[in-house]
Homo-oligomer: A and B are copies of this chain.
Amino acid sequence: MGDELPDVSGLSIGILGGTGDQGKGLARRFAVAGHTVLIGSRSASRAQEAADSLGPGLPVRGAENPSVASEADIVIVAVPWDGHRSLLESLRSELEGKIVVDCVNPLGFDKQGAFALDVEEGSAAQQAAVVLSGSRVVAAFHHVSAVLLLDPEVEEVDLDVLVLGDDREATGTVQALASRIPGVRGIYGGRLRNARQIEAFTANLISINRRYKAHAGLRITDV
């Protein structure tokens, strides 16, 4: 593939807003791969409940978002779009200097399905980069199906995770992290200025899922 990726096996992973299905799904997969995972929420008890729901014996625990942001080596932002900016503004100092992985999809829904919302900064990831000017913001994990991540019967997840960012060491680290999920490849997908269409593509995947009764993902060919 032309990418030399770093060894990330010792890194701990925090997931802000980790009580939603996508956050829990990622938490489960990274914990199964051997990472210490911290699930963050506004409420420590809800975070711990989410951690407990993943089953016994996994290295996952819950805490309030600020503790998770301080403690984890890498922090994934998995909050609903509504609370995205305000959460990040509240955690600027905790996230200073860290790799912050934004996987938020700004979508609206109506009776015709999902559609992309306009974002002043261009995309959720670019908004994160503006708010967290002292962090290393990477965009990734937009298209992973929470259903598949959470299903213990699914041993391999059949998709590529597109990883976008302007800091090559940070994108390489997140590519390596994505590749810790069996079946997944972390593929470099361009700079942050091209994140909008990756986030918005989730609306198309929702249309595809509805038409084909699938949990659709992407694979990049010839890579």
Binding site for B on A (CB under 8 A): 1-3, 112-116, 158-159, 162, 164, 187-191, 193-194, 196-198, 200-201, 203-204, 206-208, 211-223
> Across the two chains, which residue of chain B brings its CB closest to A206?
B190
Please report whether the interface of chain A is mostly helix, strand, loop or mixed according to DSSP.
Answer: mixed
> Across the two chains, which residue of chain B brings its CB closest to A203?
B194
Q: What's the Cα separation between A159 and B198 when bound, in Å?
A: 18
From B162, B203, B214, contact of A222 by CB (8 A): B214
Contact A115 B194 (CB under 8 A): yes
**Can you list 27 residue pairs at the A/B interface with Cβ under 8 Å?**
A1-B212, A2-B211, A2-B212, A3-B211, A114-B194, A115-B193, A115-B194, A116-B196, A158-B221, A159-B221, A187-B212, A188-B208, A189-B208, A190-B203, A190-B206, A190-B208, A194-B203, A194-B204, A197-B198, A197-B201, A197-B204, A200-B200, A208-B220, A208-B223, A216-B221, A219-B219, A219-B220
CB distance from A138 to the nearest CB of B (A): 14
Contact A207 B220 (CB under 8 A): no
CB distance from A174 to the nearest CB of B (A): 14
| Residues of chain B contacted by A187 (CB below 8 angstroms) | 208, 212
From B188, B194, B204, contact of A198 by CB (8 A): B204
Contact B194 A197 (CB under 8 A): no
> Across the two chains, which residue of chain B brings its CB closest to A145?
B222
Tell me which of A162, A191, A201 has the highest count of chain B C-beta atoms within 10 A of its own C-beta. Answer: A201
Contact B203 A197 (CB under 8 A): yes
Contact B197 A113 (CB under 8 A): no
| Residues of chain B contacted by A215 (CB below 8 angstroms) | 222
Q: What's the Cα separation between A201 and B201 when bound, in Å?
A: 9
Contact A218 B220 (CB under 8 A): yes
Contact A191 B112 (CB under 8 A): yes
Q: What's the Cα separation between A96 and B221 when bound, in Å?
A: 37
Contact B216 A223 (CB under 8 A): yes
| Residues of chain B contacted by A223 (CB below 8 angstroms) | 208, 212, 214, 216
| Residues of chain B contacted by A221 (CB below 8 angstroms) | 158-159, 216-219
